[in-house]
């Protein structure tokens, strides 16, 4: 579906790229950041990839990714000044706005759900539209300038740093592994170890494998491509007649159990510790692992009974 003459999802990518380029310009201009050129260049390249990535030759895109890696490896990302308001003003605004400050965040989920369910735009486009609606509402509630809004966004993305792009890199890695036939290698290895005629053994291996590969790769989507190709499709769907509509979502949930306990999922488990200024870098993981293990067992049981019945 198109919006303003462009595919809806591509338009969201373009808007994201524009925001990143504005962030890069502000970074270049921030003289308080001793690494402003590296920081600005990083977000500039990332923004360009969002806007023009599909039109740029693959080799050039590859060099752009290498450039991002070099900037990170040489530690050229830094933090600067973001024109933050005083603590007194923050306290005053907190009292004025109250719990209404949470409405924009709730709006993101609500609008995304409505657009994803009741339109043909899809959930990703819905998320983009929801983010824009939430941003406009936040501007109305806080009464800050657009310039300050970009500065706050820059402050957050600088705090997150290079891990902001980790999800995309890991998802791409999973796709490459799928093309390389890793799933078939997994299938061959598993079939020689476990009794494939035992449904519970296959289900447990599938779910535990999803969690383990997610821990290693940091992304359940990357793990899903390999484990479903190697176990889900040939051993559960084709061999035992399982319903893919049932086992697919549960497999993803099993993978998310791995997400809860891996530092590779930095945007979930490492970034929050930085934003919340926690003393223990792995405090989030330590708090989550018991729940993750319990949920993994539950997902195995759910998938087993969905397969059987």
pLDDT, position 208: 94
pLDDT, position 98: 87
Residue with tokens 């500065």: 151
| DSSP 3-state of 122 | coil
Q: 4-30: buried (b, 16+ CB within 10 Å) or exposed (e) per residue?
A: eeeebeebbbeebbebbbbbbbbbbeb
213 by Cβ neighbours in 10 Å (0-12 / 13-18 / 19+) ranks as buried
pLDDT, position 171: 67
pLDDT, position 308: 67
DSSP string covering 148-172:
HHHHHHHHHHHHHGGGGGHHHHHHH
Beta pairing partners, 2? 7
pLDDT, position 204: 93
pLDDT, position 251: 93
pLDDT, position 147: 84
Beta pairing partners, 7? 2
For residues 235 and 241, give the distance between their C-alpha atoms in angstroms, rounded to a whole number: 9
pLDDT, position 197: 86
pLDDT, position 265: 77
Q: What share of the chain is helix, strand, coil (3-state, %, to 5)?
A: 80, 0, 20
* Crossing angle (nearest 10°) for helices 283-308 and 199-217: 150
Does this model's pTM top 0.75? no
- Residues of the chain falling short of pLDDT 70: 1-5, 167, 171, 174, 178, 183, 308-309
């Amino acid at each position: 579906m198109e919006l303003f003459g462009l595919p809806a999802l591509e338009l969201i990518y373009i808007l994201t790229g524009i925001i990143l380029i504005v962030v890069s310009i502000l970074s270049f201009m921030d003289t308080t950041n001793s690494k402003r050129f590296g920081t600005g260049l990083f977000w500039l390249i990332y923004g360009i990839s969002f806007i023009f990535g599909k039109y740029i030759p693959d080799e050039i895109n590859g060099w752009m990714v290498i450039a991002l890696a070099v900037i990170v490896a040489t530690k050229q990302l830094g933090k600067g000044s973001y024109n933050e308001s005083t603590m007194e003003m923050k306290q005053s605004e907190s009292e004025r706005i109250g719990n209404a400050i949470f409405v924009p965040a709730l709006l993101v989920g609500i609008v995304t759900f409505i657009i994803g369910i009741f339109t043909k735009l899809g959930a990703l486009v819905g998320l983009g539209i929801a983010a824009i609606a939430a941003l406009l509402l936040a501007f109305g509630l806080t009464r800050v300038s657009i310039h300050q809004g970009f500065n706050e966004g820059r402050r957050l993305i600088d705090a997150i740093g290079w891990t902001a792009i980790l999800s995309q890199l890991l998802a791409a890695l999973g796709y490459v592994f799928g093309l390389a036939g890793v799933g078939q290698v997994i299938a061959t290895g598993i079939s020689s170890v476990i009794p494939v005629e035992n449904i519970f053994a296959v289900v447990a291996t599938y779910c535990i494998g999803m969690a383990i590969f997610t821990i290693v790769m940091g992304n359940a989507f990357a793990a899903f491509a390999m484990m479903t190709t190697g176990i889900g499709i040939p051993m559960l769907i084709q061999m035992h007649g399982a319903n893919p509509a049932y086992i697919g979502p549960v497999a993803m949930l099993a993978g998310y159990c791995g997400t809860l306990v891996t530092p590779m999922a930095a945007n979930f488990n490492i970034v929050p510790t930085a934003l919340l200024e926690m003393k223990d870098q792995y405090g989030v993981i330590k708090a989550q692992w018991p729940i993750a293990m319990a949920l993994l067992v539950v997902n195995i049981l759910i998938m087993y009974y969905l397969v059987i019945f």
